[in-house]
Structure 1
Amino acid sequence: MPEDSPLIQSLRTAVAAAPADVPLRLHLAELLLSEGQSDAAIAEAAVALQHAPGDAQARQLMARAMGVPQQSSEPPSARPSEQLSQPAAARPTAPAQTPRFDWKSAEEQVGDVVPPRFVDVEAPMRADGEDDPGDAEAWDVERPGGLRLADVGGMQEVKERLEAAFLAPLRNPELRKLYGKSLRGGLLLYGPPGCGKTFIARAVAGELGASFLSVSVNDVLDMWTGNSERNMHEIFQTARRQAPCVVFLDELDALGAKRSRTSHGGMRNTVNQLLTELDGIDSAANEGVFVLAATNVPWDVDNALRRPGRLDRTLLVLPPDAPAREAILRYHLRERPIENIDPAKLAKVTDGLSGADLAHVCEAAAERALLDSARTGTVRMIGMKDLLASAKEVVPSSDPWFAAARNVAMFANEGGMYDDLITYLKKRRKL
């Protein structure tokens, strides 16, 4: 495959940042076709037609890229000068009908490029819920991946706490056996939204070489009586069969809300089932099943879930520190056209922003450069000016969380659960 020119590379980046921009994608396709890259031009035109099925320019470009001969307005049997010299009756007439483009054949050729927009369901689910997947293998279990804690930028204090409280006993089976340490129990990650709790949970699974099973409220709750409890049981049965396996309970405040505040009996039964699964049928039932949970509001989680043998260890995940911010910025800028970027300076001016905020900064900076390129007609790189301006406009999304957490840390710190939070608030002079 020939190497793309700098202009084509820049246009590819611009198209990736604005995939629904049909004129921009067609411009890229025209350049590809002019460079002799017909297959690449067909792929871009096919995506353009997916966004704008009736676009005449996209259809015409697709036909040219696929080598379909264009219908000439004059017969090939005679040149214009010769036709003018002939009598009107002798002049050849144009075909009555123009051959139509074979779109079915075109779709077959680009079928591996453009995925289907809709998926037909073979058999609709019955209204009584009886067609729900009944076997535990229906749950999506991710196999051990290459993600490790070393891939998590910065957050050294979080890594050390994880190592001391959770990972070290699991990595040393001989010592664990000597001291009679069970593998039961779990870890509760809490903190403001967008700070990487799910990413850390996946990294822990990678450290353990374990499968990863992510569970949200949508996976468990069901409108039919008894189905929610059954779903919870099947999830843990899957984890036991796939052991070693990390079960990650996302948004634990929704799955395990305080039963004293829950008026719906079905929700209380679901929490009861979760408690039963965490305890296991017997002392060895959950060996090799590591339970991690995440929540933004730990004060709304049922107290029984934090008893010994359940989610008995807690870890505060705060907004990323400077090394983590620099790593996150590098990650989100790695495939974008940039020049003269100083990640260390950006990390310094984005203090207090969450990982999600930093991703938004990079996205907003790309939009600035893209719109400027569209106005001027000249593609330019993303510079520090774009990133600094975007960072200045972003308000830390974690501020409302800290405002609410401050009151809880001051007046509801039962058993010292929020001591780490109090220390952080004092350090940041928010308490």
Structure 2
Amino acid sequence: MSDESPLIRSLRAAVAAAPDDVPLRLHLAELLLAAGHSDQAVTEAAVALQHAPGDADARALMMRAMGVPTAPADPVSPAAPTEADLPSQPPSEPGGFDWTAAEREIEDAVPPRFVTSERAMDSLAPATEAPIAADGGGDAGSVSAWDIDAPGSVSLADVGGMHEVKDRLEAAFLAPMRNPELRRLFGKSLRGGLLLYGPPGCGKTFIARAVAGELGAGFLSVSVNDVLDMWIGNSERNMHEVFETARRQAPCVVFLDELDALGAKRSRSHHSEMRNTVNQLLTELDGVDAVNEGVFVLAATNVPWDVDIALRRPGRLDRTLLVLPPDAPAREAILRYHLRDRPIESVDLGRLVKATEDFSGADLAHLCDSAAESALLDSARTGTVRMINMTDLLAAAKDVRPSTEPWFAAARNVAMFANDGGMYDDLLAYLKKKRKL
């Protein structure tokens, strides 16, 4: 660009020659931000996060480039990390960016660099709760803090098969988020809402985590049990605190699991507390009292027809993606994963994939467990240990009934008779393709 300094142009050439050099790319982003090119700085920080997911320096720089305020650090207590405990950083250049000072500045706003990211959690519970008063009054059950998973290494490349789902995610959601200059040109804000729907056990939660990894964003999973409270007003307060936490630690993906429970149709709800919770969710999605820049809202449901229609209004969860049972490449990857540490012999994955049409990922895991159990019991009866073979796997495939069938039976009527505005055109097309109509 004509208004760039020679130093920035030289750094661009150096980054192009060494695209994996994260410190060099972050130095370029810092200079771009200082020169007033915040959108370009966000782009470089996002690319750095793709090479080094969870890098606190890249996240801090992205937050500053996006204008997201950071909470001031508390005074260092005896339990707080000292400078010797902090990871080493490149020394600051004269007039350059002080990496150590930046890490101290954001230590209370950004999750720690090293966390236990392998834990399997369907939902994240509030960190602390206020004590319940004996008379039932006060702020019983109110949420004071939420845990956010730091950006993980999971990306869409880790999702086996499902190429059509990944292509639609890239075109409808990820590509606009990765290109701030194009967003600015076309007036698109750094926010978004996407509703994932489909049969249970088909990987909607895993896909949401993969999206967070692609965006280099934190991940906050919320279920109805985390939000609803027996005391009046606490459910709305909990919902507000979820989004406030995400705004403070943006970029962040807020994953609303089982949206049909969190955002059920208000016309069918007989409890004012549930209706008020849905109203609060609508307010948070609109960003009425705060800016949702850098907050990406993903939601999942098995029954989208039970979700309040206001949640799918433009500007909220206005994009939908049908997550179907895993296709053949995905089934092969899932079966290979669940059999990887088990004693097997002469397993024909191609034949097994053909025998598991319409199986969900959970069904495939159950199939492998059943086959392993059969071989184990046979070994116990005969006193001779034998391997899991195709006979075990095919027998399990015959016994395990696809859990997706009841879902498609219910979805068929919705797609045929309640497809207002073409909301379920993708589901209708799939049912016709599979001759399920």
TM-score by length of 1: 0.69
Q: 1:325 aligns with which of 322, 331, 344?
A: 331
* Counterpart-to-counterpart distance in 1, 2:129 and 2:164: 50
- Residue aligning to 2:309: 303
* Counterpart-to-counterpart distance in 2, 1:263 and 1:185: 31
**Aligned 8 A contact 1:184 1:309 in 2:** no
Cα deviation per residue 1:251-295 (whole Å; 9 max; x = unaligned)?
A: 00000000011110000000000000000136x710000000000
Q: 1:175 aligns with which of 179, 182, 189?
A: 182
* Counterpart-to-counterpart distance in 2, 1:184 and 1:134: 25
Structure 1 residue 341 displacement after superposition: 1.4
**Which amino acid in structure 2 is aligned with residue 209 of structure 1?**
G
* Counterpart-to-counterpart distance in 1, 2:309 and 2:176: 25
Structure 1 residue 185 displacement after superposition: 3.0
Alignment of structure 1 residues 61-72 onto 2, 5 Å = none
Alignment of structure 1 residues 217-228 onto 2, 5 Å = 217-228=224-235
Structure 1 residue 122 displacement after superposition: 13
**Which amino acid in structure 2 is aligned with residue 259 of structure 1?**
R
- Which aligned runs of 4 or more in structure 1 are off by greater than 6 angstroms? 121-124
Cα deviation per residue 1:78-119 (whole Å; 9 max; x = unaligned)?
A: xxxxxxxxxxxxxxxxxxxxxxxxxxxxxxxxxxxxxxxxxx
Structure 1 residue 183 displacement after superposition: 2.4
- Residue aligning to 2:16: none
CA separation of 1:355 and 1:122: change in aligned 2, threshold 3 A: closer
Structure 1 residue 399 displacement after superposition: 0.7
- Residue aligning to 1:254: 261
Alignment of structure 1 residues 78-227 onto 2, 5 Å = 125-127=132-134, 128=136, 130=139, 132=141, 134-135=143-144, 138-227=145-234
* Counterpart-to-counterpart distance in 2, 1:361 and 1:134: 40
* Counterpart-to-counterpart distance in 2, 1:237 and 1:124: 22
**Aligned 8 A contact 1:198 1:294 in 2:** yes
Cα deviation per residue 1:41-82 (whole Å; 9 max; x = unaligned)?
A: xxxxxxxxxxxxxxxxxxxxxxxxxxxxxxxxxxxxxxxxxx
* Counterpart-to-counterpart distance in 2, 1:344 and 1:174: 45
Q: 2:321 aligns with which of 315, 319, 323?
A: 315
Cα deviation per residue 1:205-224 (whole Å; 9 max; x = unaligned)?
A: 01001100000000000110
**Aligned 8 A contact 2:131 2:141 in 1:** no
**Aligned 8 A contact 2:142 2:234 in 1:** no
Kindly name which structure, 1 or 2, has the bigger radius of gyration based on alpha carbons: 1
* Counterpart-to-counterpart distance in 2, 1:206 and 1:147: 5
- Residue aligning to 2:8: none
**Which amino acid in structure 1 is aligned with residue 356 of structure 2?**
T
* RMSD value, Cα: 1.7
- Residue aligning to 2:245: 238
Cα deviation per residue 1:129-177 (whole Å; 9 max; x = unaligned)?
A: 7353542xx2121110000101000100000000000000001111111
CA separation of 1:403 and 1:134: change in aligned 2, threshold 3 A: closer
Q: Secondary structure at the match of 1:147?
A: coil
- Residue aligning to 1:229: 236
TM-score by length of 2: 0.68
Structure 1 residue 232 displacement after superposition: 0.2
**Which amino acid in structure 2 is aligned with residue 227 of structure 1?**
N
* Counterpart-to-counterpart distance in 2, 1:391 and 1:368: 12
**Which amino acid in structure 1 is aligned with residue 149 of structure 2?**
E
* Counterpart-to-counterpart distance in 2, 1:141 and 1:380: 45
- Residue aligning to 2:66: none
Q: Give yes or no for the alignment of 1:280 onto 2:287.
A: yes
Q: Which runs of 5+ in 1 are unaligned?
A: 1-120
Q: Give yes or no for the alignment of 1:402 onto 2:411.
A: no
Q: How many residue pairs were aligned?
A: 308
Alignment of structure 1 residues 344-423 onto 2, 5 Å = 344-423=350-429
Q: Secondary structure at the match of 2:315?
A: coil
* Counterpart-to-counterpart distance in 2, 1:125 and 1:369: 51
Cα deviation per residue 1:339-388 (whole Å; 9 max; x = unaligned)?
A: 22122221111011111110100000010011011111122111111111
Structure 1 residue 250 displacement after superposition: 0.4
